[in-house]
Structures are given as structure tokens and as C-alpha cells.
Amino acid sequence: MSEAKSRIQRDDQVRIVAGKDKGKSGRVLRVDRKNGRVLVEGVNIVKKAMRKRRENDRGGIVEIEAPIHISNVMLLTKSGAVSRIGYRIDNGKKVRIAKKTGEQL
């Protein structure tokens, strides 16, 4: 299985467009290109049983973010609109742009 091509990068602001958290937005914490998934801050919260690892560590049930499929997120522009991502060459450098507004990301 080859790595999925992704235009979304870490620290991008994204909005969830499908699933139980549809409409929520957050910052991308991690991109897993191999599995085609992204970890978004504050989205897709699941409960997980954690074992106590050290003496002062607390075990029990904790809520953590779980990865969601990359097709379920869209990039948020500075104006707050969702947009696809394109590329343009400026002064010999390849830069990402928002397709809807044309602004540089």
C-alpha cells in the first residue's frame, strides 16, 4: 500500500465536513499519510482505558482525540470559508493557495 497524497499539513485549520463531528473545526496535530488519516485537536473524542504506568500517574478512563479520515476534513481559510487546496508558482517557489478565494496559505 502506497502513501496517500495529501495537501493538508500539520498546524492547518480544518473543518469537519462529514461524520459525528460535522461542522466542528480545529488544528491538525498529526497527518498519517500511510493510512490516510489526520488527528484534529478537540475532534472525534473517544474514551480509552489507560493503565497506570508510574507511581504518580493516574490510570482509568481518559478522553483522547482519535484520527479521522482525511477525506472528511477541508481546509479553513483566514476568512472562515472552507476551500480546496491548489498550488501556484511565485518567484520560482511553489506555494499553496485556497482555490475558493485565491489567498496564499
Residue 68 covered by a domain: yes
Residue 71 covered by a domain: yes
Summarize pLDDT for 12-28 with one digit per residue, the tens. Answer: 999 999 999 999 999 99
Please tell me the predicted confidence (pLDDT) of residue 1.
54
Residue 91 zone, left/alpha/beta (φ > 0; ψ -120 to 50; rest): left
User: How many domains does one find in the chain?
Assistant: 1
Residue 93 covered by a domain: no
Residue 5 covered by a domain: no
Cα gap 36→3, rounded to integer Å: 8
CATH of the domain at 35: 2.30.30.30
Please tell me the predicted confidence (pLDDT) of residue 56.
76
Residue 72 covered by a domain: yes
Which residue range forms the structural domain that includes residue 59? 13-79
Relative to beta strand 60-65, strand 68-69 is: unpaired
pTM for the whole structure: 0.81
Residue 87 covered by a domain: no
Summarize pLDDT for 68-103 with one digit per residue, the tens. Answer: 999 999 999 988 899 999 999 999 999 999 998 888
Work out the number of other CB atoms within 10 angstroms of the CB of residue 39. Answer: 19
Residue 20 covered by a domain: yes
Residue 89 covered by a domain: no
Mapped to the 3 state alphabet, what secondary structure does 45-88 carry?
A: EEEEEECCCCCCCCCEEEEEECCEEHHHEEEECCCCCEECEEEE
Summarize pLDDT for 27-70 with one digit per residue, the tens. Answer: 999 999 999 999 999 999 999 998 888 877 778 888 999 999 99
Write out the DSSP string of 16-50. Answer: E-SSTTTT-EEEEEEEETTTTEEEETTSSEEEEEE
